[in-house]
Amino acid sequence: MNRTFIQKREPASPFKRTPQRLAILDYLKGNTDHPSADDIYRAVSRKYQSMSFATVYNTLNTLTKKGTLRELTIDPERKRYDPDTTRHHHLICVLCGTIVDIPEGIAVDLPGKLARDFTLLGNHIEFYGHCSRCKKKRKTP
Ligand code: ZN
Ligand code: MN
């Protein structure tokens, strides 16, 4: 096997569907919890003891680059991942970190001059507050 062959093959190699990666994809499919890399690692490594955090982290990066996954930087301490890449907004509980989806449908208009000068491609609105569960907890003495 010569070198040229290897060099040609490598960039063409697609996302390899290893059992570990498939387990990560499977966990994320339809998941609306907006899990962090840690959450994903904890959940998936329960089934796959051979799963390493590095595999989870690298897979998440690859999927994000491919556009299969949306990376949310709402929480500066830990990135969260959203398999729903359609446009939507988020409701964020500042107490427990829960992130809830808001379907698109909130009309936001840029004021005149900004709208003229700027070609708007999309938006992402973050609503902060206290979720119902945290509100209940706070009320109980
Ligand atoms: Zn909460
Ligand atoms: Mn979402």
112 CB neighbour count, 10 Å cutoff:
8
Q: Which of 104, 98, 107, 112 is nearest to 85 (CA)?
A: 104
Q: Does residue 80 share a domain with residue 92?
A: no
| Ligand 1 mean position, distance from CA 80 (Å) | 16
pLDDT in tens, 28-71: 999 999 999 999 999 999 988 889 999 999 999 999 999 999 99
Q: Does residue 113 share a domain with residue 59?
A: no
| Average of per-residue pLDDT across 124-131 | 93
Q: Does residue 39 share a domain with residue 78?
A: yes
Q: For the chain, where are the alpha helices, taking DSSP H only?
A: 3-12, 19-28, 37-47, 53-66, 112-117, 132-139
Q: What percentage of the chain reaches a pLDDT higher than 90?
A: 55
Q: Which domain holds residue 91?
A: 86-141
Determine the distance from the C-alpha atom of residue 84 to the mean position of all C-alpha atoms in its chain, rounded to a whole number: 8
CB 110 within 8 A of CB 74: no
Counting ligands in written order, the one closest to the CA of 134 is 1
Structure tokens at 132: 């119902």
58 located within any domain:
yes
Banded pLDDT at 83 (limits 50, 70, 90)? very high
Q: Does residue 139 share a domain with residue 97?
A: yes
**CA dist., res. 96 & res. 19, Å (int):** 32
pLDDT value of residue 124: 87
| Ligand 2 mean position, distance from CA 113 (Å) | 30
118 located within any domain:
yes
7 located within any domain:
no
- First vs last C-alpha separation in the chain: 72
CATH number, domain with residue 76: 1.10.10.10
| Ligand 2 mean position, distance from CA 72 (Å) | 8
DSSP β-bridge partners for residue 102: 89
Q: What is the count of structural domains for the chain? A: 2
For residue 16, is pLDDT > 90?
A: no
DSSP β-bridge partners for residue 127: 91
